[in-house]
Amino acid sequence: EGWASTSVAAIVREAGVAQGTFYLYFKSKEQLLVHLRGGVLAEYIGAFESGARGPGMADARLVAGMNEIYKAVRRNADLVRVFRQATTGDEAELVWLDGRDTFAAPLARLLAEGADDGSLVIDDPKMAAHLVLALFDDLLY
């Protein structure tokens, strides 16, 4: 029914828990949304780091890491749709910028490794990381 039309009562009914239990952990459905966003972001970062870990040149590890993120995004597609419904344009921009800053750090480290091992030509790994994430977001959504 969409984020705006979904009540806490509907959420707890679907989850199979009591409404009082919900309020032990969250003050509102908005606070639940923030918690879920954090979990999804952590999953994306973990997927990237898992895929990019190991031996080999950084460019190949970058591809493997991005493939793992893609799989994580597909697993969370319904939830990501809710995130986009539940936020205004300004809120969505702030959430995206915060997540991108958090996610850019491990990506920038790998890009710097690629510059060091010669598999990537990059002047500024941090800027390149933000560009990669922006392009990835555009391709997905």
DSSP string, 6-51: --HHHHHHHHT--HHHHHHH-SSHHHHHHHHHHHHHHHHHHHHHHH
Residue 141: is its pLDDT beyond 80? no
**What pTM was computed for the model?**
0.80
Q: Is 86 helix (H, G, I), strand (E, B) or coil?
A: helix
* Residue 5 to residue 11: CA distance in whole angstroms: 11
Q: Could you tell me the two tokens for 106?
A: 């491990």
Q: Among 6, 4, 11, 40, which residue's Cα sits nearest to residue 26?
A: 11
What proportion of the chain, given as a percentage, has pLDDT over 70? 91
Q: What is the pLDDT at residue 96?
A: 66
pLDDT in tens, 20-40: 999 999 998 888 888 888 888
**Which pLDDT does position 81 carry in this prediction?**
84
Residues in the chain: 141
The structure tokens 């480290």 sit at: 109
What mean pLDDT do residues 36-46 have? 89
Q: pLDDT of 82-121, one tens digit each? A: 887 887 656 656 666 777 788 899 999 999 999 999 999 9
User: 72 to each of 7, 45, 67, 110, how far by Cα in Å?
Assistant: 27, 10, 9, 19
Per-residue pLDDT at 14: 94
**What's the one-letter identity of residue 115?**
A
Query: Which helix (H) or strand (E) segment is 99 a member of?
Result: helix 89-117
- Residue reference for tokens 């994430």: 133
